[in-house]
Amino acid sequence: MAQYDVMSYRELYVSPSAVFSGFQKPFAEASYVLLGVPFDVTSTYRTGARFAPLAVRDASLNIETYSFHSDIDIEDISIHDIGDLHVTSDTQETLKRIEHITKELLTTRKTPVLIGGEHTITLGAARAVSKDFAVIDFDAHLDLRNEYMSLKTSHTTFMRRINEQAKPREIVEIGTRAVCKEELDYAKKAGINFITTQQIRSEGIEKTVEKVDKLLRNVRKVYLTVDMDVLDPAFAPAVQNPEPDGLCSHMFYELLSATIDERVAAFDVVEVTPPYDNGVTSVQAAKIIFETLSAMEKARKQ
């Protein structure tokens, strides 16, 4: 254990990689710190999310960096990419490493940005956020099963584990369209809020944002997670569990920009599976990170 006294978890468990966006500040000067998490152990349909951090970084080097939503360019944001986490086949050990590194970054007043990997990684990061926080999850699925294929901790159960272990004040899931009866029953019992794609289309973006704002009005911090399957497969085909009838890119980006404020303490983008398309989904994921960082920077400057 003496080694832990002289080395941080970041130094112990992270390896260098390509630099996201190509624009890098020294760690000490950065406000936002990116971490790849190539974890893909509990995937049950499509595997390959372990390749996403590299693919998303590659995509980020080949798209423009200016945001019309925020009037901010990534070049002007202080970001640092620390590389990829050393993951293991032991889910609990990997989650522990994610939790420790996320907590370390938050303690040094950095905003952690995780590039998954499967959605299970959110459990480790959410456990690192202090009390009195909420989770906003853009996702086709509720992921509230208690167990799936004999696993109690997986990409299908992690949100239930977050509710039990991290105990956020609120959980708001946006873009829901794929659930089972067990999840609906648990959501009702636990007071977990979700907004379906049908509701978003019928009520419109403005009313949806108002609903989210009302649910989050009494929380101090927000953990934001984006599962790429929230988008319709026409816009993001290479995801682990694609579901029809999803959000179009326009609606998603409008909702994303409108729900981000200065309370976002950390965020992740997960479930890209690069082998299943020609790079379109990785480009979408890189763009989402650009837009999220820009919206956060704008909110903090206001």
Q: Distance (Å, rounded) from C-alpha 195 to C-alpha 209? A: 11
- Give the torsion sign (CA, 143, 256, 83, 284): positive
Over residues 247-266, mean pLDDT: 96
Would you state the pLDDT for residue 9? 73
Per-residue pLDDT for 5 more than 70? no
> pTM to 2 decimals?
0.94
CATH number for the segment(s) 2-301:
3.40.800.10
Has residue 300 got a pLDDT over 70? yes
User: What pLDDT, on a 0 to 100 scale, did the predictor assign at position 302?
Assistant: 82
Residue 11 has pLDDT above 80, yes or no: no
- Does residue 2 have a pLDDT over 70? no
Average of per-residue pLDDT values in the chain: 94
Query: Domain extents for the chain?
Result: 2-301
Above 70 in pLDDT, residue 6? Answer: no
Is 142's pLDDT higher than 60? Answer: yes
Q: Kindly tell me if the per-residue pLDDT of 4 is higher than 60.
A: no
Amino acid 56: pLDDT: 98
The predicted pLDDT at position 153 comes to 95
Q: Which of 172, 137, 83 is nearest to 270 (CA)?
A: 137
pLDDT at 232: 98
Arithmetic mean of pLDDT, 127-132: 90
Rounded average pLDDT over 131-145: 96
- Which pLDDT tens digit goes with each residue over 146-188? 999 889 999 999 999 999 999 999 999 999 999 999 999 999 9
Q: Is 87 exposed, middle or buried (0-12, 13-18, 19+ CB in 10 A)?
A: buried
Contacts of the segment 156-165: beta carbons below 8 A, 24+ positions apart: 156/42, 156/44, 158/119, 158/120, 158/122, 158/123, 159/122, 159/135, 159/192, 160/186, 161/123, 162/122, 162/123, 162/126, 162/127, 162/135, 163/190, 163/192, 165/123, 165/127
- Using the predicted structure, report yes or no on whether residue 89 has a pLDDT greater than 50: yes
Q: Report the pLDDT value the prediction gives residue 1, as an integer from 0 to 100.
A: 35
The pLDDT assigned to 131 comes to 82
User: What percentage of the chain carries pLDDT values higher than 70?
Assistant: 98
- Residue among 278, 289, 156, 294 at smallest CA distance from 228: 289
134 Cβ partners below 8 Å, 6+ apart?
168, 169, 170, 171, 172, 215, 216, 219, 221, 222, 223
**Each residue's pLDDT tens digit, 209-235:** 999 999 999 999 999 999 999 999 999
Give residue 16's pLDDT.
Answer: 72
For residue 7, what pLDDT is reported? Answer: 62
Q: Stretch 280-293: mean pLDDT, rounded?
A: 98
Is the pLDDT at 17 greater than 90? The verdict is: no
How many degrees, rounded to 5, is the angle at CA 166 between CA 161 and CA 167? 95
